[in-house]
């Protein structure tokens, strides 16, 4: 009734399920239980902001053979029926007496033999979006079937994006880029950090974002500190660097890149740091290849920054991106995940300035067999100056 | 560095912790482990949109005696240090070798005796926001200490709002009300559902929302069906009822109410249904009292609608509200939660029309000893008509 076209042809979803089923078979698991918004959207196309309400769990079972089974609150009926999923089982949630557990246990029992394994994502970057007590109740109900870690199964499939997914992320990046172009006007209209955050979110919506799941940023003299706080009414002043970072969403796909702006002329140290970040990013765009490890990308970014006399920032310097704001792998010194063609990645070097403040630069790319292709329109080599 | 004032005086947080500690002692639990954005914000004031990234877990331990311990990724240092929490332990996350588990196990071991209980929310409307495998690793590390269900401990405290919290929610409601006033102009500017969704989100930001975590709505002839789908490019037409519903956020507190608009003149059946919804809501605002159960509110709403010949909608007809879009209890026919003074609640009756479509009406109230006080400015008795 709302005329929203299906996001992808059914073949796209079939391909995703085949990937999962191949890996389930290899791992000797009989079905995969998914509970998160991202995983369920990925397999079904079921897209809603209703996940914001913690009241109800949602379940998707992907058997090693056969069609997926959605076990969901009845409020999701219309939307799930418009996806390609046909086996949809529902209950009136929330129901403290049995919040879908019997229905789910029955579906599992149909697809997993008594001595079989139920795959559940349990590793890094996953969490089980259902009450823990209900999970234990479920395990009791399906015994002697046992749970097994399925993190690799979902992550190895999700991390390789199809061309249709790359197109979606490229579109979200273009939307964010248009909003970044509006920032000087937004700052001039009301030069306080909270007003800029609001104006930037509106600009993202104006440019075509469906919603804005994430906006971060900061401003400070020459650089900034904390980049995860909400904005306060701090006035912007000449000499400040303003950074804005966004995870806007279009059709369920995120972008995640930032831009730095100088309020008034750029200070020398800031310019040098920005040059180094820009050059290190260019260098990695030239050099990144499938077969390298996530930690290799980290090492190359650090080396490029140090070559210019800069101190690289702590934490990760890039990560995956797609149906969530951040995905694995992480560009850290210890992440051994092999990079493969089709991964969409952020390249996110940061440097620590003499003041202890930082500058962060970020682009989004898809890794091709011969190297990265930019999805975010490349940031200008010189930081954009906003006269105040 | 961003000059955002602390949301509440420290005494507010002390009161919250005392409430949790009193209940921990009553339950014989030695500490409470919190992992969700809402629970950690509630106890500490730590507010960030960084939770959108699934990469990192965050932990807060509230011992039955003494000060809470934050065990968090180092990227949260500045922000957590600006809260009232002083015992902050950090690691460089994400770290696949040990993602905070050793640090957390140590903190638990300090506060929970070997034969003691670690409270973990496990019940309805909760989920454990950390990898399940890490939770099992944690339990191994802290054995013989055992986990126990702490759902009641956190929910019975969070559900009773302080006056400071009520003020926050009232402010968010006022922001949303201002945005609802802008809807006729938004519709006239671009009368398609997706453009209206975008314009409404911008209006919420313009009115002072920090961000818009939830927007839902629908439009259809005389009423609507599915209310959880994203908006498509469907044009609005005379005879349509347009419903918009929002969970906007200001200072971490949500509103959750909707408004219905008629595109052109209101059809008779729609008018009667809207009248009935409005009257049923008035009636419950008159009659609701502490000591009633959640299911009593459901029964009264249904009775008031049926008295006017209407068929009440399925699902719940109201729920709690606060630091998440929806909180317990649920106005269903089986929720036995006692209503208490200080609860902030949505009153959300719906009716099914002869077409099978529905109309939903929603207000936000705080329950006082002598009945509800409105937090959302009351919807007009007549549906607002938008000429097209």
- In tens, the pLDDT along A126-148 reads 999 999 999 999 999 999 999 99
**pLDDT > 90? residue B5:** no
Say which range, A5-19, A174-188, A372-386, B279-293, has the weakest mean pLDDT: A5-19
User: Of B94, B125, B209, which has the smallest distance from its Cβ to A54's Cβ?
Assistant: B125
* Residue B198 scores a pLDDT above 90: yes
CA distance A276 to A361: 10
pLDDT for B6 equals 74
pLDDT tens, residue by residue, A17-57:
999 999 999 999 999 999 999 999 999 999 999 999 999 99
Query: Which tens digit of pLDDT belongs to each residue from B213-255?
Result: 999 999 999 999 989 999 999 999 999 999 999 999 999 999 9
Given a cut of 90, is residue A5 above it in pLDDT?
no
Instruction: Give me the mean pLDDT over the A327-342 stretch.
Output: 97
Average pLDDT over residues B127-137: 98
Instruction: Check residue A7 and give its pLDDT.
Output: 86
A334 contacts on B by Cβ (under 8 Å): 95-97
B21, pLDDT greater than 70:
yes
- Cite the residue boundaries of each domain of chain B with CATH code 3.90.230.10: 163-386
Q: Are strands B371-374 and B69-73 parallel, antiparallel or unpaired?
A: unpaired
pLDDT given at position A147? 98
**B317-354 per-position pLDDT tens digit:** 999 999 999 999 999 999 999 999 999 999 999 999 99
Ordered alpha helix ranges (H), chain A = 10-27, 37-44, 77-81, 101-111, 132-142, 151-158, 163-181, 183-189, 193-206, 268-287, 294-307
ipTM of the complex: 0.97
The pLDDT tens digits of the residues spanning A344-370 come to 999 999 999 999 999 999 999 999 999
Percent of chain A with pLDDT over 70: 99
Residue B4: pLDDT over 80: no
**pLDDT at residue A177, rounded to an integer:** 98
Task: Using a pLDDT cut of 90, give the percent of chain A over it.
Answer: 97
Q: Mean pLDDT of all residues in chain B?
A: 97
Looking at beta carbons, which residues of chain B come within 8 Å of A95? 332, 334
Chain A: residue nearest B98 by CA? A124
Q: What are phi and psi of B143, to 5 degrees?
A: -55, 145
- pLDDT-above-90 percentage for chain B: 97
Distance from CA of B95 to the nearest CA of A (A): 8
Q: Is the pLDDT of residue B1 over 60?
A: no
In chain B the first and final C-alpha atoms are separated, in Å, by: 48
Hey, what are B35's tokens?
């992992």
At residue B3, the pLDDT reads 54
Q: What is the side-by-side strand order in the sheet with B69-73?
A: B87-91, B69-73, B59-63, B31-34, B117-120, B146-149
Asked if A10 and A43 touch (Cβ cutoff 8 Å), the reply is no
Residue A75 scores a pLDDT above 90 = yes
pLDDT at B9 > cutoff 70: yes
Pick from B96, B122, B250 the residue to mutate for testing the A interface (most A CBs within 10 Å): B96
Whether A2 has a pLDDT exceeding 60, the answer reads no
Q: Which two tokens stand for residue B146?
A: 């055992």
Residue to test with chain B: of A57, A78, A130, A132, most B Cβ within 10 A: A132
Of B57, B125, B220, the CB nearest to A55: B125
- Contact assignment for A193 to B220 by CB distance below 8 Å: no
Q: Residue B166 in contact with residue B344, Cβ under 8 Å? A: yes
Q: Which residue of A has its CA nearest to B129?
A: A127
Q: How many CA atoms within 13 Å lie on the side-chain side of B137? A: 18
Q: Residue A147 and residue A61: Cα distance in Å, rounded?
A: 13
* Token pair for A335: 């992440």
- Assess if CATH 3.40.50.300 describes domain A163-386: no
The residue of chain B nearest to residue A124, with distances taken between CA atoms, is: B131
β B371-374/B363-368 pair status: antiparallel
Spatial distance between the Cα atoms of A133 and A156, rounded to a whole number of angstroms: 29
Pairing mode of beta strands B117-120, B146-149? parallel
Interval A59-87 mean pLDDT: 97
What value does the mean pLDDT of chain A take? 97
Selected from 3.40.920.10, 3.10.20.440, 3.40.350.10, 3.40.50.1000, the CATH number assigned to the domain covering B10-158 reads 3.40.350.10
* Reduced 3-state DSSP string for A188-230: HHCCEHHHHHHHHHHHHHHCCCCEEEEEEEEEEECCECCCCCC
pLDDT tens track for A242-286: 999 999 999 999 999 999 999 999 999 999 999 999 999 999 999
Cβ(B134)–Cβ(B87) below 8 Å: no
Q: How far is A371 from chain B (nearest CA, A)?
A: 25
Segment A168-177 shows an average pLDDT of 98
Residue B117 to residue B102: CA distance in whole angstroms: 18
Q: Kindly indicate the confidence band of residue A1, based on its pLDDT and cuts at 50, 70 and 90.
A: very low
> In which band, very low, low, confident or very high, does the pLDDT at A3 lie, cut at 50, 70 and 90?
low
* Whole-number pLDDT of residue B146: 98
pLDDT of residue A6: 74
pLDDT at residue number A231: 94
- Closest CB to A205: pick one of B201, B314, B315: B201
């Amino acid at each position: 009734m709302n005329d929203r076209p299906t996001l992808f042809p059914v073949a796209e979803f079939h391909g995703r399920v085949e990937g999962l089923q191949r890996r389930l078979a290899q791992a000797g698991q009989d079905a995969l239980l998914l509970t998160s918004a991202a995983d369920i959207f990925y397999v079904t196309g079921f897209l809603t902001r209703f996940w914001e309400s913690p009241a109800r769990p949602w379940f998707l079972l992907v058997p090693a053979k056969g069609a997926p089974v959605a076990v969901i609150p009845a409020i999701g009926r219309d939307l799930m029926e418009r996806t390609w999923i046909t086996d949809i089982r529902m209950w009136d949630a929330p129901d403290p007496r049995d919040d879908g557990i019997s229905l789910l246990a029955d579906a599992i029992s149909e697809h997993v033999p008594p001595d079989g394994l139920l795959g559940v994502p349990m590793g890094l970057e996953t969490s089980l979006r259902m009450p823990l007590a209900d999970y234990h109740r479920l395990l009791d109900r399906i015994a002697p079937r046992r749970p097994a870690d399925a993190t690799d199964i979902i992550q190895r499939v999700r991390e390789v994006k199809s061309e249709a997914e790359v197109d979606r992320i490229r579109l979200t990046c273009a939307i964010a880029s248009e909003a970044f172009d509006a920032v000087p006007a937004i700052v001039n209209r009301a030069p306080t950090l909270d007003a800029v955050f609001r104006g930037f979110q509106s600009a993202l919506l104006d440019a075509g974002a469906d919603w804005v799941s994430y906006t971060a940023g900061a401003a400070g003299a020459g650089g900034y500190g904390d980049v995860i706080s909400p904005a306060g009414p701090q006035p912007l002043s000449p000499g400040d660097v303003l950074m804005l970072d966004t995870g806007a969403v279009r059709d369920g796909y995120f972008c995640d890149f930032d831009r730095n702006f100088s309020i008034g002329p750029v200070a020398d140290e800031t310019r040098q740091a920005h040059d180094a970040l820009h050059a290190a990013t260019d260098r990695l765009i030239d050099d990144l290849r499938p077969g390298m490890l996530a930690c290799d990308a980290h090492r190359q970014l650090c080396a490029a920054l140090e070559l210019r006399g800069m101190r690289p920032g702590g934490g990760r310097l890039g990560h995956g991106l797609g149906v969530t704001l951040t995905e694995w792998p992480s560009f850290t010194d210890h992440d051994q995940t092999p990079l493969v063609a089709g991964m969409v990645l952020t390249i996110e070097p940061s440097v620590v300035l003499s003041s202890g403040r930082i500058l962060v630069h970020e682009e989004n790319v898809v890794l091709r067999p011969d190297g990265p292709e930019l999805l975010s329109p490349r940031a200008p080599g010189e930081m954009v100056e906003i006269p105040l």
